[in-house]
Amino acid sequence: MVKLETQSPAETKALGRKIARNLKSGDIIALIGELGAGKTCLAQGLALGLGVSPKDYVASPSFVLVKEYGGRTPLYHIDLFRINSTEELESLGWEEYLYGEGVCIIEWAERAGKLMPSEYLRIELEILGSRRRRIRLKAFGRHYQAVLRKLR
């Protein structure tokens, strides 16, 4: 596990860009944290690091559940905030995104429960102050362990 603190939204985005340098097609990033913890801010940095154009404003896809972006690899940005059950999630065909050609970023990933794959990078964001965040990264699987080693 890697524990970090950021002092501003700009630092949180920069961390996302740094993480993204080590991601590849098929990778899954699970973002966990309360409202306002910085999940979307980190997702914006990940998107920039994956080559998504800054003109393509990455916002939380709460109302559409999934947004797709082009970059050096496709990016699937999923928000499970409005999902009420794993059955509802299964009916959306989310496996197509998880095991698709791109990188999958999942906000509110804890709502996926048993449907989360066995290998992914879990990123927990905690509010420490108006701009400060504690960020914990935990690897599930060898590939993600290597991603974390490159962050140190």
Contacts 24+ apart (CB under 8 A), 48-54: 48/13, 48/16, 48/17, 48/20, 49/16, 49/17, 49/18, 49/19, 49/20, 49/21, 49/23, 50/20, 50/23, 50/75, 50/103
Q: Rounded CA gap, 97 and 80, in Å? A: 13
Digit-coded pLDDT (tens) for 112-122: 999 999 999 99
Domain segments of the chain: what residues? 2-151
The mean per-residue pLDDT over the stretch 31-52 comes to: 95
Digit-coded pLDDT (tens) for 123-136: 999 999 999 999 99
Domain 2-151 bears CATH identifier 3.40.50.300: yes
Question: Of the candidates 31, 27, 56, which has an alpha carbon nearest to the alpha carbon of residue 41?
Answer: 31
The band of 27, judged by pLDDT with boundaries at 50, 70 and 90, is very high
Digit-coded pLDDT (tens) for 136-149: 999 999 999 999 99
Q: Rounded CA gap, 34 and 134, in Å? A: 12
Q: Is the pLDDT of residue 62 over 70?
A: no
Q: Is the pLDDT of residue 45 over 70?
A: yes
Give alpha helix (H) positions in the chain: 9-20, 39-49, 86-91, 95-98, 142-151
